[in-house]
Amino acid sequence: MALKITAECISCGACQAECPVEAIKEGDGQFVIDAEKCIECGACADVCPVGAPQAE
């Protein structure tokens, strides 16, 4: 199951730079993860300052 970015996202972009499969894009007011591309590596969660990426 892919990770999902929660409402805690502050749109800092740290997660996007870390994603090895480019599954994270800037959405409307916060970043979003493409569930079809996400490989559940957790790299985004490791660098997020607010813990926004979480398992669905």
CATH number of the domain that residue 50 is part of = 3.30.70.20
What is this structure's pTM?
0.90
- What's the average model confidence in pLDDT over 49-55? 95
What is the tally of structural domains in the chain? 1
Question: What pLDDT score was predicted for residue 19?
Answer: 98
| Three-state secondary structure call for residue 18 | helix
| Three-state secondary structure call for residue 10 | coil
Tens of pLDDT along 1-38?
Answer: 899 999 999 999 999 999 999 999 999 989 999 999 99
Buried b or exposed e, range 28-44, using 16+ CB within 10 angstroms = eeebbbeeeebeeeebb
Question: What pLDDT score was predicted for residue 1?
Answer: 83
Q: 39-43: list long-range contacts, CB under 8 Å, 24+ apart.
A: 40/1, 40/2, 40/3, 42/3, 43/15, 43/18, 43/19
Give the range of the structural domain holding residue 42, as residue numbers without chain letter. 3-55
